[in-house]
Amino acid sequence: MEKSQNPPPYSPPQPGFQPPPPQPGFQPPPQGGYQGPPQSGFRPQQDTQTVIVTHTVAHVPVGPSPTSTTCPSCHAQIVTSVETETTTKTHLFALLLCLFGCWPCCCIPYCMDSCQAKTHYCPNCRAYIGKYEN
């Protein structure tokens, strides 16, 4: 394994080279290493502005079928797209049918609309609009 070597020293600047002028408010680093924060009292001006954004979602009454409304996210006039989801109620009805000996009928709650929740989404931006549970 080779030992790391120090990089070669920098060559002196070429004749005619002039460093760019310092920017206003810029203090060049002190020569000779780090010596702590500057003691000159110079502090950059900091303009702070606090912006508080609140997002309130208006309650959109939704039912089991698609609803015409204005999307709270993209503000477009839309008809919601509806997706059905199984709920705890669906699973409980299926379990009760199995426990009472009607195991061939335990899949019926998964096919009934009244045992499932309807979730409404915006068809444009896919934002959540609301949920209907029977």
Query: For residue range 3-40, what is the model confidence (pLDDT) as tens digits?
Result: 667 777 777 777 777 777 777 776 666 666 566 666 66
In Å, what is the CA distance from 85 to each residue of 98, 109, 119? 21, 12, 7
Residue 91 near residue 56 (C-beta atoms within 8 A): no
pLDDT of residue 80: 93
* pLDDT tens track for 61-118: 888 899 999 998 898 999 999 999 999 999 999 999 998 888 788 888 899 888 899 9
Reply yes or no on whether the pLDDT at 58 is more than 60: no
Residue 85 near residue 93 (C-beta atoms within 8 A): no
In whole angstroms, what is the distance from residue 128 CA to residue 130 CA?
A: 6
In whole angstroms, what is the distance from residue 14 CA to residue 3 CA?
A: 32
Tokens of 111: 């096919």
Reply yes or no on whether the pLDDT at 59 is more than 80: no
Percent of the chain with pLDDT over 70: 74
For the segment 49-58, the average pLDDT, to the nearest whole number, is 65
pLDDT of residue 56: 56
For the segment 126-131, the average pLDDT, to the nearest whole number, is 91
- Coil, strand or helix at 91: helix
Answer yes or no: pTM beyond 0.85: no
pLDDT of residue 79: 93
pLDDT of residue 1: 55
> What's the number of CA atoms in the CB half-sphere (13 Å) around residue 70?
4
pLDDT of residue 9: 76
